[in-house]
Structure 1
Amino acid sequence: MITALAEWSEFNVAMAGASAALAGLVIVAASVNIDKIIHAGTLTARLGAAIASLVLALVASGAALIPRLDLLGYGIVVLACTLIAGAFQVHAMRVIMRDTAPEQRARVVKSVLGYLPIVAYLSGAVLLIAGVSSGLVLVAAGCLLAIVSAIVVSWVVLVEVLR
């Protein structure tokens, strides 16, 4: 089963680099307006969850490159990291749902977007722990979804803070 991870090495190298670069850019971009972001209700929690999903993509991709790591070990790493990133997403959802600002009509949409990569990673990790190598496809989907959702959330946060 170690061969299954090796087949994904090029994808994981690309995703590790992309997610690390993007996480750094998001943090630098947010630091420009950090005072406004901190005082803008839900934005801090949403941005934290977006960064956590990028870190999850980075760790999952990087861990897949560890020599001689089997699917069980990889599944455990992905599961543990997904639970941590999921905690950030749960916190963000709770903050969004408690917000009483009138422009908070799209609360569910704002909450659901961040859960897409978490669900993909969680499903993939469970399959990998069960010894099903097709869980790697779900982990890859989680990585791509993490990048897309983090870009969308980061853009929204950076635009919202300037309104």
Structure 2
Amino acid sequence: MTDEWTDFGVAVTGVSGALIGLLFVALSINLRQIVDSPTLPGRAMVALVLLSLPLLSAMLLLVPQPDVAYGVELVVLGVVLGSWLLYLTRPGAREAGQTARARLVGTIGPVVLASASVLVGGVLLVAGHEAGLYGVVVAAIAAFLGALLTTWVLLVEILR
């Protein structure tokens, strides 16, 4: 069933790579301000790991393998990267002046949604449900939106 998702895997891999490049442009342009901040380096790392989630999910989708094996890989990816992301967004990592609402929408929401979607998608695939592939779709959208918001902050908002 994953054979029908090849085009999606190629598209997500390409978009992830392009957005990682945009993140590195933002980092290089405003490196001094980011490094001088107590919280922005961590936020940049969240964006990078967040973009790695759909990148790795899509790359693994392109590997010829049984659906159950792909499901196991998604579970491992969801646990490992999800744990790392939750650590990076732990309480106390909030930027000065950032409201709880902005933190929820821009950082925590995408992290939890992307991680949980990959994890649940993997579990469903291991259980034999094709619907698990849609977890990768939700994870990619959440990761892209969350990383884009952070990249915007690192590229534009940091200069205000």
Place the TM-score, normalised by the shorter chain, in its bin. 0.7 to 0.9
Whether the 8 Å contact between 1:45 and 1:88 is mirrored in structure 2 is: no
**Distance in 1 of aligned mates of 2:110 and 2:137:** 17
Q: 2:69 aligns with which of 54, 66, 73?
A: 73
**Distance in 1 of aligned mates of 2:19 and 2:95:** 30
**Distance in 1 of aligned mates of 2:141 and 2:35:** 28
**Distance in 2 of aligned mates of 1:38 and 1:111:** 22
**Distance in 1 of aligned mates of 2:77 and 2:35:** 26
Query: Over residues 104-159 of structure 1, what are the superposed CA-to-partner deviations in whole Å (9 max), with x where a residue is unaligned?
Result: 32244442232221121111111112221110011122112211211112112333
Partner of 1:122: 119
Q: Normalized against structure 1, the TM-score is what? A: 0.85
Greater shift, 114-123 or 11-20, is seen at: 114-123
1:161 offset after TM fit, Å?
A: 2.5
Whether the 8 Å contact between 1:92 and 1:111 is mirrored in structure 2 is: no
Query: Over residues 74-94 of structure 1, what are the superposed CA-to-partner deviations in whole Å (9 max), with x where a residue is unaligned?
Result: 112122222232133212222
Partner of 2:88: 92
Whether the 8 Å contact between 2:22 and 2:151 is mirrored in structure 1 is: no
Structure 1 unaligned residues grouped into runs of 5+: none
Question: Structure 2 vs 1, CA of residues 100 and 23 (structure 1 numbering), >3 Å: closer, same or farther?
Answer: closer
Partner of 1:47: 44
Displacement over 6 Å in runs of 4+: none
Figure out how many residues of one structure are paired with residues of the other and give that number. 157
Question: Structure 2 vs 1, CA of residues 99 and 82 (structure 1 numbering), >3 Å: closer, same or farther?
Answer: closer
Q: 1:136 aligns with which of 100, 108, 133?
A: 133
- Is 1:156 matched up with 2:153? yes
Q: 1:58 aligns with which of 45, 55, 59?
A: 55
Please report the RMSD computed on the Cα atoms of aligned residues, expressed in angstroms.
1.9
Q: 1:104 aligns with which of 91, 98, 101?
A: 98
Listed as ranges, the matches of 1:5-24 within 5 Å are: 5-24=2-21
Partner letter of residue 43 of structure 2? R
Q: Normalized against structure 2, the TM-score is what? A: 0.86
Whether the 8 Å contact between 1:45 and 1:91 is mirrored in structure 2 is: no
- Is 1:32 matched up with 2:26? no
Paired residue secondary structure (1:66): coil
Whether the 8 Å contact between 2:30 and 2:154 is mirrored in structure 1 is: no
Structure 2 unaligned residues grouped into runs of 5+: none
Whether the 8 Å contact between 2:110 and 2:143 is mirrored in structure 1 is: no
Greater shift, 38-47 or 16-25, is seen at: 38-47
